[in-house]
Chains A and B, each alone.
Chain A
Amino acid sequence: MKNFEYFDPTSVGEAVALLRQHAGSAKVLAGGTDLFLRMHRRALLPDVVVDLKRIAEFANLSYSAQDGLRIGATVTHGEVVDHAAVQQHYGALATAANWVGSLQTRHRGTVVGNLCNASPAADTAPALLAYGAIVTIAGPDGQREVPLEAFFQGPGRTALGPAEIVTALRLPPPSGQRGWGFARRTRTVIDIALVSSCVVVQANNGVCGEVRISLGAVGPTPLRAMRAEAVLQGQRPSAALLAETSRVAAEEAHPISDVRCSAEYRKDMVEVLTKRCAESALSMLQML
């Protein structure tokens, strides 16, 4: 590995100043499970590495009924999996985070870091989209917030400017009873998703209130299947309606074929998995 200069700032301002000073030649280090590997393989050769783990506020993972869930920039997948409020109020996220890599990787890799790599297959992305995650960003011009949908701009591309860092994710609190389903297909236990789907449904007196359906690894970014959401929203669920919802979700997927599987397989699996996720969500709400 090429040598580099290592900084471990203790404040957000310091981190942003370092990135600004070394614009173009600095990389941000959170868990390092991706960055270390890329540097090891010489796919990335930064002159400067800015480690965020000494910034105390970034380690914050907290929930309140008023503000919802806050996931700081250096919170690991393992911490999210084990967090009682995540399990209780954001079940699909806890389940999805538990699919990431091995236990050792989950102990180290961060949710925010994973999103910043902007892989279309990022395991937690569909759940975070379904829960309406908002990305908080700090940079030379201060703070700003971006919905997660707008944060992803393509494979490996995000809305982050050169000296900006994600400080946290914000997930709005649940406004009533929610059911959810998350499903994922993979080759082996530890591999990136071939395709994944997540459905979150809000109950509203026997009909579906807000419905969120999101898909992973079937487009250049993780995406929301908004036409499929509209099929179910405001309706009393039925088998025929679920079939229609998942068929529309598959239409909204535009996957590619690669070494892992074909585009046709991915599209078919979107239909199968989305149906199962919707069934799971509605069974939790005893609406099926």
Chain B
Amino acid sequence: MKRLITLTVNGTPYEVAVEPRQSLLQLLREELHLTGTKEGCSEGECGACTVLLDGITVDSCLVFALEAQGREVVTIEGLAQGDQLHPVQKAFAEYGAVQCGFCTPGMIFAAKALLESNPHPTEAEIRQGISGNLCRCTGYVKIVEAIQAAARG
């Protein structure tokens, strides 16, 4: 039943055998051992599994692995350039926008997507922009501050 697919993850090409029922999230975590992407609700509500699929944010728990055939995926492991953290990552670290850290990878992708489409968001726009990502520690204030700081550059 398994089918061989090829895809690029964080710039590296992979060839993996997957079952139709496997999600992209399972492929990343269980086959490629890229465990930076987290499994939260597995229902597309919490955003913990957010990755970039061909450059746009998606909940990887709701994507079949087979749908990633020939596509390009970026996970949190692939966001920094060598030792250089992405500006949003840097801001999250500086502003302590991390408590348990479980939502952070998804939150960073949501923030990055928001700032790319709206480089100077208001606080309300930031809250709207991360509304697909839940922080169970409820540390939203610092997350919003970090995104505001990343926007200031």
Binding site for B on A (CB under 8 A): 1-6, 8, 29, 32-33, 36-37, 39-40, 49, 51, 53, 78, 101-105, 107-108, 189-190
Contact = CB atoms under 8 A, between A and B. Distances in A.
28 contacts: A1-B21, A3-B1, A4-B21, A5-B20, A6-B3, A6-B64, A6-B66, A8-B69, A29-B64, A32-B67, A40-B43, A49-B64, A51-B66, A51-B67, A53-B67, A101-B44, A102-B44, A102-B131, A103-B57, A103-B114, A103-B129, A103-B131, A104-B132, A105-B132, A108-B59, A108-B62, A189-B128, A190-B45
B58 A107 contact: yes
B109 to A, nearest CB: 9
B57 A107 contact: yes
Contacts of A40: 42-43
B24 to A, nearest CB: 10
B58 A108 contact: yes
Contact of B59 (A1, A2, A105, A190): A105
Nearest to A190: B131
B27 interface: no
Contact of A101 (B23, B128, B132): B132
Interface residues of B, number: 30
B132 A190 contact: yes
Contacts of B47: 102, 104
Nearest to A79: B56
A32 B63 CA distance: 7
B20 A3 contact: yes
B149 interface: no
B58 A102 contact: no
Given A3-B21, A40-B43, A189-B128, A108 B63 contact: yes
Interface string B82-95: 00000000000000
Contact of A37 (B3, B43, B56, B114): B43
Given A102-B132, A103-B57, A103-B129, A37 B20 contact: no
A33 B61 CA distance: 10
Given A104-B50, A190-B132, A2 B44 contact: no
